[in-house]
Amino acid sequence: MKLIFLGPPGAGKGTLASKAALLLNVSHISTGEIFRSAMAAGSPMGLKVKAIVDSGKLVDDETTVELVKERLSQKDTEKGYILDGFPRTIPQAEALDKFVKIDRVINLNISDSVSLERLGGRLVCRKCAQNYHAVNNKPKVDGVCDKCGGEIYIRDDDSAASIQKRLEVYRLQTAPLIDYYLGKDLLSDVEAWHSVDEVVENFRKVLNLN
């Protein structure tokens, strides 16, 4: 099964994708992971991405699509995958349509107030990028990632002003994908303001999983 997860910042795309990938026995693929792997490999494309990221700019559509296409050609994607953080724009979605047939697009619904509440307390592992929350999902040991033992920190872009800006960018660039995939009869909504377990259960119902 090939899925796309959409949703505003703080919707829990990464958290649900990690659990859904285990549930469906498919790969969880995020653009962040793709960028980090490319930069770590030091390939020409990875060096290009690093230069863009270091300059504070967003990686352009053409480069992102090329990296995603390369990632989706790897063996671990044969059983399917969940795309988390891609596509972010209509041009990216149109490019994806040329080499992949997506089975379903899951749109995680939350309000702006929930985004602010969640991201304001978000903690991230510096090593593996696993997400935690200062109130709702604390690591077992303060400051230490349960998954890899890496250092947990608060991202600079999780300030209230930065979150508001990210929401504006989402509404401008990514929200139009909702209508795009509705038009293709691929979109299913999942209410994401509930607890993690409830969101997973809602996801199961949408896909008719027992």
Alpha-carbon dihedral of residues 149, 141, 113, 89, nearest 10 degrees?
A: 10
Angle CA 31–49–22, to nearest 5: 20
Q: What is the pLDDT of residue 209?
A: 86
Q: What is the pLDDT of residue 80?
A: 96
Distance CA 148, CA 128 (A): 7
**189 in Cβ contact with 17 (< 8 Å):** no
Provide the annotated active-site residues: 13, 88, 122, 155, 166
Q: What is the pLDDT of residue 33?
A: 87
Please list the alpha-helical segments (H only) found in 55-110. Answer: 61-72, 90-97
Chain segment 46-58, per-residue pLDDT in tens: 899 989 888 877 7
Relative to beta strand 152-153, strand 122-125 is antiparallel
Burial of 175 (0-12, 13-18, 19+ CB in 10 A): middle
Nearest Cα to 3, choosing from 186, 205, 209, 129? Answer: 186
- The SS3 call for residue 152 is strand
Per-residue tokens: 75: 């063996």
Distance CA 61, CA 67 (A): 10
Distance CA 200, CA 55 (A): 37
Residue 133: enclosing H or E segment and its boundaries?
strand 131-133
Structural domains for the chain? 2-110+166-206 (3.40.50.300)
Q: What is the pLDDT of residue 136?
A: 74
| CA terminus-to-terminus distance, the chain | 16
Q: What is the pLDDT of residue 43?
A: 85
Q: pTM score, two decimals?
A: 0.78
Low-confidence ranges of the chain (pLDDT < 70): 157, 210
Q: What is the pLDDT of residue 82?
A: 97
